[in-house]
């Protein structure tokens, strides 16, 4: 009792001293404010552009959009883009940062690269993509933990790159588009030992889906059909059953993830849509019945025309295996007409390139390919902003320049609605209020 009394007395006496010595709370840092003067502002692509405008960015968010050129207040930074068209950061719904777009080089160097080497390469691809004006991407196939680490490093502001919504590895059946086809037995054995994404039957496909979620996947991708890029003469039609696809989609949705299907042939596309998928990647064979299914279910098509052009070019140059080159030629005969039909139907489209099949940083070529088969430039820009953001489930944060949204903003010289090719050269890039590129030159990164 005496000890307790003495201890309590000591604490009571020390308390005032401790209170006096406690450090004062740190002053809250002043908000980072930028004023962007835009000569023309395409705030909501697909709608009419505004004239001279001022965008006020505060702590990474769009705080105000004013008519005319407002003078900066309170020491805010002025970004002068009076001679440029300002628009939302672009969104690419299909990239592969762990692939370079140069398949012959990858085959020659692949056996000498560790995961650490591949991560450094992926960092470079992410930076090239941000340079090109793409401030958000879906990475639909790469080393799961590596792409998750890249995603998080960008999120913390330690690495230059776009916001990443990652899928991990693509789920596939044995011998399907995602299996280790074409490798000799020793290499195939090693590859398959590290491939929990391979599955057969509905229960096993549920397991494979959970494995990708376990390693950090924010979206789930599966190979509903054969693929052009895989080294197997397995055709381009459905390779999974309806029950297998439905097991993947239902599991993804149960975990709050969207599901997208790699699908070329009509049977693969139609079955994936019936299984409840949110989007279809590629869509090489699309007829009127398939378009009706897309519309009935509200499913998006991500056309990836950039990849088709790249694979055809690579196949003819001898850079791809014979099986892949043959499928590329088969698809070349039909894909443009399929996409022309899809675009004309008014069905939902979201922008995606499959960069990594073709070179990163050339993503804006997709705008040219889409307009060549009938999509007008205004709609093409909208599918790379508002529509892509909607498919991601992030339309409340990105896709347009509106108060409260992330300050993902780019600028180009000229009018992209009149000439979509100007999007191939982006001199100004801001992501979440941090200037990555100004006047064609990189800003210091990370920002102070």
Q: pLDDT digits over 218-243, tens only? A: 999 999 998 776 666 566 889 999 99
Give yes or no for residue 214 having a pLDDT over 90: yes
Whether 101 shows a pLDDT value over 80: the answer reads no
Write down the pLDDT at residue 7.
47
Burial of 244 (0-12, 13-18, 19+ CB in 10 A): buried
Tokens representing residue 62 in the block: 């769009």
> Which alpha helices (H) appear in 346-406, and where do they start and end?
365-372, 377-383, 386-392
For residue 16, pLDDT beyond 50: no
CA atoms within a 13 Å half-sphere pointing along the CA-CB vector of 255:
21
Q: Tell me, what's the pLDDT at 444?
A: 53
Question: Domains of the chain by range and CATH?
Answer: 33-89+402-442 (2.30.40.10), 90-392 (3.20.20.140)
| Least trusted range by pLDDT, from 89-103, 159-173, 238-252, 262-276 | 89-103
Asked whether 133 and 88 are in contact (CB, 8 A), the reply is no
Read off the pLDDT of each residue in 362-371 and give the average, rounded to a whole number. Answer: 97
pLDDT above 80 (res 298) = yes
Least confident of 88-97, 191-200, 256-265, 418-427: 191-200
Rounded Cα distance, 221 and 96, in Å:
12
Q: What is the pLDDT of residue 194?
A: 63
Band of the pLDDT at 6, cuts 50, 70, 90?
A: very low
What pTM was estimated for this model as a whole? Answer: 0.88
Taking a C-beta distance cutoff of 8 angstroms, is the pair 294, 273 a contact?
yes
Q: What is the pLDDT of residue 188?
A: 56
Asked whether the predicted pLDDT for residue 13 surpasses 50, the reply is no
Please state, in angstroms and rounded to a whole number, the distance separating the CA atoms of residues 197 and 172.
Answer: 6
pLDDT reported for residue 320: 76
| pLDDT tens-digit readout, 335-365 | 999 999 999 999 999 999 999 999 999 999 9
pLDDT digits 0-9 by tens, 326-335: 777 888 788 9
Residue 8: per-residue pLDDT: 47
Q: How far apart are CA 209 and CA 207, in angstroms?
A: 5
DSSP class of 198: B
pLDDT digits (tens, 9 = 90+) for 301-315: 999 999 888 888 887
Whether 24 shows a pLDDT value over 60: the answer reads no
Q: What is the pLDDT of residues 129-166, one digit of tens each?
A: 999 999 999 999 999 999 999 999 999 999 999 999 99
Q: Which of left, alpha, beta for 415 (phi over 0: left; psi -120 to 50: alpha)?
A: beta
> How far apart (Å, rounded) are the C-alpha atoms in residues 421 and 415?
10
Question: How many angstroms separate the CA atoms of 151 and 165, rounded?
Answer: 8
Q: How many residues does the chain have?
A: 448
pLDDT for 27 equals 59
Average pLDDT over the chain, rounded to an integer: 88
Q: Does pLDDT of 183 surpass 70?
A: no
Please determine, for residue 18, whether its predicted confidence score (pLDDT) is greater than 70: no
Q: Is 177 left (phi over 0), alpha (psi -120 to 50) or beta?
A: alpha
Q: What percent of the chain has pLDDT over 70?
A: 84
Predicted confidence at residue 1, as pLDDT, reads: 42
Return the H-helix or E-strand segment holding 212: helix 202-214
Identify whether the C-beta of residue 411 lies closer than 8 Å to the C-beta of residue 428. yes
Helices (H) and strands (E) in the chain, counts: 15, 15
CA–CA separation, 441 and 407 (whole Å): 19
């Amino acid at each position: 009792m005496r000890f307790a009394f003495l201890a309590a007395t000591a604490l009571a006496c020390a308390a005032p001293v401790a209170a006096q010595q406690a450090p004062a709370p740190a002053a809250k840092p002043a908000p980072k404010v930028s004023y962007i003067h835009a000569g023309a502002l395409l705030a909501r692509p697909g709608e009419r552009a505004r004239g001279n405008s001022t965008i006020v960015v505060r702590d990474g968010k769009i705080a105000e959009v004013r008519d005319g050129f407002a003078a900066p207040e309170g020491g805010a930074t002025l970004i002068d883009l009076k001679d440029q068209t300002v628009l939302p950061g672009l969104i690419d719904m299909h990239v592969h940062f762990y692939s370079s777009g140069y398949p012959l080089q990858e085959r020659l160097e692949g056996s000498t690269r560790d995961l650490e080497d591949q991560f450094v390469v992926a960092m470079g691809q992410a930076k090239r993509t941000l340079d090109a004006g793409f401030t958000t991407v879906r990475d639909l196939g790469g080393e799961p933990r590596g792409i998750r680490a890249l995603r998080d490093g960008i999120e913390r502001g330690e690495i230059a790159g776009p916001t990443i919504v990652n899928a991990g590895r693509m789920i596939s059946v044995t011998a399907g588009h995602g299996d280790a086809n074409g490798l000799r037995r020793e290499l195939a054995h090693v590859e398959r030992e590290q491939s929990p994404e391979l599955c057969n039957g509905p229960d096993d496909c549920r397991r494979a889906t959970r494995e990708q979620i376990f390693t950090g996947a924010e979206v789930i991708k599966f190979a509903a059909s054969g693929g052009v890029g895989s080294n197997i003469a397995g055709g381009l039609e459905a390779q999974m059953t309806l029950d297998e696809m439905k097991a993947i989609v239902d599991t993804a949705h149960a975990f709050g993830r969207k599901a997208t299907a790699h699908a070329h042939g009509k049977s693969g596309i139609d079955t994936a849509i019936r299984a409840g998928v949110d989007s279809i990647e590629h869509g090489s064979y699309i007829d009127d019945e398939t378009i009706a299914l897309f519309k009935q279910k509200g499913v998006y098509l991500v056309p990836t025309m950039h990849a088709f052009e790249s694979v055809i070019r690579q196949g003819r140059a001898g850079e791809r295996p014979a099986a892949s080159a043959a499928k590329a030629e088969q698809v070349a005969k039909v894909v443009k007409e399929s996409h022309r039909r899809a675009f004309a139907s008014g069905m939902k489209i979201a922008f995606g390139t499959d960069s990594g099949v073709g070179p990163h940083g050339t993503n804006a070529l997709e705008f040219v390919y889409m307009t060549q088969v009938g999509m007008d430039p205004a709609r093409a820009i909208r599918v790379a902003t508002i529509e892509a953001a909607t498919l991601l489930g992030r339309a409340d944060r990105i896709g347009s320049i509106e108060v409260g949204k992330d300050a993902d903003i780019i600028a180009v010289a000229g009018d992209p609605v009149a000439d979509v090719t100007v999007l191939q050269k982006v001199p100004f890039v801001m992501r979440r209020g941090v200037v990555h590129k100004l006047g064609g030159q990189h800003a210091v990164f990370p920002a102070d």
